[in-house]
Amino acid sequence: MTIHPGRAGACSWAPDGRWLVCHSYDTGAGAVWLLDSQTAEAIQVTDGSSWDYKPTICPTRPAVAFSRSNEGRSVIWVQRLGDGVGDPLVVTGADDRWPTWTQDGNHLFFHRLVDEGAGIAIWDRRTRTVRDLVPAERKPRYASFAPDGRRIVYGAEVGGRSTLRILDLDTGNSQPLPAGEAAFPTWSPDGRTIACTIRPDPSSRWEIATVDVPSGRVRLWTTDRADLRGLHAPVSFAPDGRRLVFRSETEPFEANLLVLELDSGRFTNLTDDSWWDEAPSFSPDGRSVIFMSTRGGDWTWGFYRIDVASKEIVTVAGPDYIERNNPQLTRDGRTLSTMVASRVEELYEQLPDGAGRVVTEAGPGVRYPVPSADGEQVVFTRTRTTVEYWLAENIWASDSPLASLARPLVAEAGTPKVIEQPPLGPVRSPVDTRRR
């Protein structure tokens, strides 16, 4: 059926029993393809600029439903096969995946992952106490300390969009930071600037940005780098305040680390290989970066430390089948992270000699731990994850968000055009993909 690795996956039959509809990662992202089971002819249905996956064809109409992600959560997307017109079923703050049609083609069943912030708290290492700061109703996300330890900046979800707020720890007062849709904020060492990721508009990609705190002025750094993508992830300032480190996706399931010099705007690859590197942060002396990666093999995460000058990489923890996330280094050599133990994500503290412990007083559902400048306090996000199953009924009805797709396709002459089979025309991928 296929001869190129990575060509097709998650295939299901079209109603005629001849065509398969599949997703493929050959475009560098995800695309939906049709595959003729008799001739092995391949036809590309979506352009592959988004992550399109898990497709299925409607049993009674020339339409395909699939999951679509544009650098973030997935939506259920329905697209006509004849002209490529499509719309989302519904857009929420959740992650909707894996649509399945009912036999009559009128309803869609799908899986929804709801992963939301349930609070922000600070763990004090000296007193072994935890202080709750931001309530669950704000749906908070990633937070970072100001250098003086008296303020934090954090992301809060409003209407499915992430915005930034600054909280004064002494007074409890918070105020918005006017940066638009922004996430993963981190404070500069001098306290004047916040680095983050920003999406200029809902249809655009996320960009690496800095925000001047006193004026609110925003600068986007990556708009001229079309090769950088998947930037919606943690960013870290170097201790000198003149560099940022972040990750950028390259191939499907592969990502590199890059350093941005803020004085010159120059980008330098810190890693450049076929592994997935994630969640980088500078060491307190600025000489190295700690990060999580699949480079241990067998798709297990490990923690690694790379020397910025020599690019030498050493293992900090793992790789093994223990799930660890978001490592951070403190001045005294401790590694802070989260670890999935007893099926929940908890705060973990590892000493320089390798010994460590789960910080049980922080409680379950801990994510994104970030230490204060002196390392004695850790701000983290509490999270809550649930899995739901939904049935969207009567999606072709006149009051449905997809009602426009139910109209008959019209040819240029104005007569109805019935699509009995997909338009033919072989499409070959120009990408030579690598697969493990």
Which residue type, as a one-letter code, is found at position 373? A
Contacts of 390 (CB under 8 A, 6+ apart): 96, 109, 110, 111, 112
The pLDDT tens digits of the residues spanning 212-251 come to 999 999 999 999 998 998 899 999 999 999 999 999 998 7
pLDDT at 289: 98
Quick check: bond before 284 cis, omega within 30? Answer: no
Measured CA to CA, the distance from residue 150 to residue 315 in angstroms comes to 34
Contacts of 151 (CB under 8 A, 6+ apart): 145, 166, 167, 168, 169
pLDDT at 149: 93
Same fold, 9-107+393-406 and 116-385: yes
pLDDT at 158 over 50: yes
pLDDT at 361: 92
pLDDT band for position 77 (50/70/90)?
A: very high
Nearest C-alpha neighbor of 98 from the set 72, 69, 61 = 69
Measured CA to CA, the distance from residue 22 to residue 8 in angstroms comes to 6
pLDDT at 383 over 50: yes
Over 220-272, what HEC string results? Answer: ECCCCCCCCCCCCCCCEECCCCCEEEEEEECCCCCEEEEEEECCCCEEEECCC
Strand partners, 417: none
Burial 247-286 (b: 16+ CB within 10 A, else e): bbbbbbebbbbbbbebeeeebeebbeeebbbbbbbbbbeb
CB 21, CB 32: distance < 8 Å: yes
pLDDT at 429: 40
* For the chain, domain boundaries: 9-107+393-406, 116-385
Helix H or strand E segment including 98: strand 95-101
pLDDT at 420 over 70: no
In the CATH hierarchy, which fold is given to the domain comprising 9-107+393-406? Answer: Neuraminidase (2.120.10)
pLDDT at 419: 41
Measured CA to CA, the distance from residue 206 to residue 180 in angstroms comes to 12
pLDDT band for position 375 (50/70/90)?
A: very high
pLDDT at 4: 65
The pLDDT tens digits of the residues spanning 19-56 come to 999 998 877 778 899 988 888 888 889 987 788 999 99
Measured CA to CA, the distance from residue 71 to residue 163 in angstroms comes to 17
Most confident segment among 157-161, 204-208, 249-253:
204-208
Mean pLDDT of 199-204: 85
Mean pLDDT of 196-224: 93
Structure tokens at 355: 């010994």
pLDDT at 319: 84
Q: Which of 271-280, 316-325, 360-369 bottoms out in mean pLDDT, i.e. has the lowest?
A: 316-325
pLDDT at 432 over 80: no
CB 357, CB 349: distance < 8 Å: yes
In the CATH hierarchy, which fold is given to the domain comprising 116-385? Answer: Neuraminidase (2.120.10)
The pLDDT tens digits of the residues spanning 300-336 come to 789 999 999 999 999 998 888 888 899 999 999 999 9
pLDDT band for position 68 (50/70/90)?
A: very high
pLDDT at 7: 65
Measured CA to CA, the distance from residue 101 to residue 59 in angstroms comes to 7
pLDDT at 255 over 80: yes
